[in-house]
Amino acid sequence: MFLFLVVALAVVVAAVTLAVVGGGGGEGPLPEAVPERLHDPLPPDRPLSRADVDDLRFPLAARGYRMADVDDALNRLAAELAERDARIADLETALAGARAAAQTAHDAPTPLDKPAHGPEDQQ
């Protein structure tokens, strides 16, 4: 029984050695695999919409998603959100200024509000 196990182990070692050394039919080592990269589906010519974010899918890598692809998409989203926040703040400032101007114009006296006994009436 011991002799059978030694022979079987030698056959397995020989088969693995032949497969590693002689495998591939003389073509050499396997070519480098082209990494699966994200074809950026985010439109570069217009602001992002909710549908763009919903349609965004990242390719899988050995341990989850490619960090560079996720970082690029998140940086793009962060930049657009910051731009929108700045635009909203500008519009709110302009609206507050317009409301203040309208209130000042409403509170200012009109020509119809002049006193009944002005300097012209004293003569």
Reported as a single tens digit per residue, the pLDDT across 30-48 is 666 666 665 677 788 888 7
Report the alpha-carbon angle 70-71-73, nearest 5: 65
Mean pLDDT of 19-36: 64
pTM for this model (two decimals):
0.46
DSSP one-letter code for 112:
G
The pLDDT value given to residue 33: 61
Is residue 23 scored above 70 in pLDDT?
Answer: no
Is residue 121 scored above 80 in pLDDT?
Answer: no
The three-class DSSP label of residue 60 is strand
Is residue 28 scored above 80 in pLDDT?
Answer: no
The pLDDT value given to residue 30: 61
The pLDDT value given to residue 122: 54
